[in-house]
Structure 1
Amino acid sequence: MAAGLIPSRAEAGRSIAGLFYLSLKRPEGLKLFDVSSDGFWRSFGAFAWAWPVQCFLWTGMWRASPDTRPESAGDYLGFFLTSTAFDVAAWVLPAIMLLAVTQLFGMADKFTRLVVVNNWFGLFSAYIGFFPAALRYLAPVPDGLSAIISLAVYVIVIGLYYRVTRIAVGGETMIAVFITALMVVSGLTISEFAFTALSGE
């Protein structure tokens, strides 16, 4: 049963291709997403594909704050369990907020589509974020330049999310701006709580 909730590589490939089309302002990309009832629930399973990268991204804390690095096997396990719990929250909370937004703006018919696109974008953005994080580990990049690269990537991800969301809501600019801002704020809030929990502050 659990395996059935994890999207296949073929579905993941189609969905990522759909995001590429949408990022190029090509609405036909929406046809590549499975917005059936099964596809809706399976899109949450995209987290399984993102989880290894998410764990790697959290280890960036150890470079920025060496005192947060776990010391024992139990500490490592606790670190990754805690980070995973916050990542799951960051995956589920947007769906709840999108339910409220679509009800508020009379767009209930677009709820499933928005959640599916949002979930797959979560996978997409995780792998985009992987590159600057890996660069910090593999190349002697100064901290200042590393911060600039990370900020630039973050801005690009937000811009792509807005573009994808705008098409998913049928071209409604203000609603797309509202959803984008809502997701950014919620993501930053969850990250702050997660950082506090993981650093033991």
Structure 2
Amino acid sequence: MLSSDETYASLKGAWRLMLGKADGLRQLDLSADGFWNSFFAIVVAAPALIVGWVGLANEIGDPNAFAGRFSMLIRLATVDIGVWVLPLVGLALVAPRAGIGGRFVHYVVASNWASAIIAWLMLPAALIRLFLPSTNEFAVLASLLLFALSM
């Protein structure tokens, strides 16, 4: 588990990169340990992701059946974690052949921490969907605005 200082430095570095500042890369740990530690970003993002999963599970699953909502929650979590990790596995397989093997670690570390930031940026829209399900259009608009902000 990373210390709060290391987590803060990684998030700050990813945020600087997202703002187009190249110095953000210097704040990321690009060592072998830093590569594996960057997957701690999933834990950092988990609370924000869980709010989104619960909101969607309530919306999609049977509201009267706990088992149906819980099953949907597990499926949503599996899909989100898969969408986070599987593209990185695919990139690991093609990176040496594509000539980007030397930058693979940089990409994974930066994208893991940036994904955690984006998960938290999307939290307001997830909270709207969770607590005000009848305002789905507003939640979609908030999601789009927050996504545009993250670009």
TM range (shorter): 0.7 to 0.9
Partner of 1:45, secondary structure, is helix
- Report deviation, 1:142: 3.7
Matched, 1:71 2:69: no
Deviations 1:104-127 (A, max 9, x none): 431111001101111111211110
Give the alignment partner of residue 86 of structure 1, picking from 62, 69, 79.
79
40-49 or 95-104, which deviates more: 95-104
Matched, 1:54 2:44: no
Amino acid at match of 1:8: S
Matches within 5 A, 1:1-201: 6-62=1-57, 64-65=59-60, 67-69=61-63, 71-72=65-66, 75=68, 77-138=70-131, 142-157=135-150, 159=151
- Report deviation, 1:14: 0.5
Structure 1 residues 135 and 7, CA gap change in structure 2 (3 angstroms): same
Structure 1 gaps of 5+ residues are 1-5, 160-201
Partner of 1:46, secondary structure, is helix
Structure 1 residues 71 and 63, CA gap change in structure 2 (3 angstroms): closer
Quote the RMSD (CA, aligned, Å). 2.6
* TM-score, scaled relative to structure 2: 0.82
**% of aligned pairs identical?**
26
Structure 2 gaps of 5+ residues are none
Alignment coverage as a number of residue pairs: 151
- Report deviation, 1:70: 6.5
Amino acid at match of 1:127: W
